[in-house]
Amino acid sequence: MKFNNSLGLIENTPLIELQNILKCPGKIYVKAEFVQPGGSIKDRAALHIIKDAYARGKLKEGQPVVEMTSGNMGAGLAVVCNLYRNPFTAVMSEGNSPARAKMLESLGANVVLVPQIDGAAGQVTGNDIKAATRRAISLTEELNAFYVDQFNNPSSVSAHFKGTGPELWQELGNELTAFVAGVGSGGTYVGTSKFLKGKNRSIVCAAVEPEGAQILAGKPIINPRHNMQGIGYCIKVPHWEPKLVDHYLMVNSDEAAYYRRLLAQKEGLYVGFSAAANVCAAVKFIEKGLGGASPIVATILCDTGLKY
């Protein structure tokens, strides 16, 4: 493989079959999103958002770019902005792991940390996100910057409708019977599910939420704190389409931590907690018989475990 620059590493990620985790009939395939230069699935959205902003005249050469980010979107944007030569400022809640801020600074981003409202270290809540968002918006005005606004930006969804979905379809086609994924901004879930259901209406799609934070499933928020950074913010997801959800699945922090070890030690895949939650949910989905007798389930390894 030969690319003109590091942006060539974004999208077309490898698909891997898990051989050592499932103990009943069925297959789980995982998309290795951590191979992208920012280390996560958010590189896809970052690339599409910046490309689309240029195409629509919303972003000009040299103009600053600002985003509120849990770290992964920041890394993706830092990579993409470096290649497009736009200075980038990441506004982050202090609750995200310090390794994330370090990575962003190393990539040349300006990092602004916002104190937490009700979260704790390593546990970012919806209120923490709101506080960081307010700071990002005021900074955008100060700098006359382009505000990425990943939660509301439709390119967050189209990145997956044009990328993740078609890639899964190309690899698995009609063999694929189900798609399982967690929800942060909802871009991955909505874009991918919409594409796959458009290709084959019988593909079953299941959304993953942390236990106690199952707002999309219509349950009361009992505990917004969990270890699955990047998903489960307990907020109304702007692009959410309930009709794309056949099942809501729940994973708790202990299960995410357990599956993280399992993936590393049984499969050689050292990933983050949301990736582990996706695999845990895929196993539950199959064990509960939600996908029929011998389902072929695709899910996402959102990021590397090195940042936690």
Ligand X SMILES: Cc1ncc(COP(=O)(O)O)c(C=O)c1O
Q: Which residues bind ligand X (CB under 6 A)?
A: 40-42, 70, 72-73, 182-189, 229-231, 272, 274, 302-303
Q: Which two tokens stand for residue 247?
A: 């099942």
Q: Provide the sign of the torsion angle of the four alpha carbons 73, 176, 242, 207, taken in this order.
A: negative
Judge whether 288 counts as a catalytic residue. Answer: no
Question: Is 42 among the residues known to form the active site?
Answer: yes
The angle subtended at Cα 164 by Cα 159 and Cα 166, nearest 5°, is 105
Task: Give SS3 for 240.
Answer: coil
**What's the min distance (Å) between Cβ of 254 and ligand X?**
18
Closest separation in Å from C-beta 207 to ligand X: 10
CB nearer to ligand X: pick between 72 and 89 = 72
CB of 76 to ligand X, least distance (A): 9
Residue 21, phi then psi, degrees to nearest 5: -115, -40
197, 274, 284, 307: which one is catalytic? Answer: 274
Q: Nearer Cβ to ligand X, position 26 or 183? A: 183
Nearer to ligand X, 184 or 295 (CB): 184
Q: Which is nearer to ligand X, 92 or 176 (CB)?
A: 92
Residue in 13, 45, 70 with CA at minimum distance from that of residue 273: 70
3-state DSSP assignment of residue 145 = coil
What the block records as the tokens of 280 is 């845990």
Q: Collapsing DSSP states into helix, strand and coil, what is residue 29?
A: strand
Q: How far is the CB of 101 from ligand X (least distance, A)?
A: 14
Residue with tokens 């939600």: 290
Instruction: Choose, from 27, 42, 194, 197, the residue flagged as catalytic.
Output: 42
Q: What residue type is 72 in one-letter code?
A: N
Could you list the active site residues?
42, 274
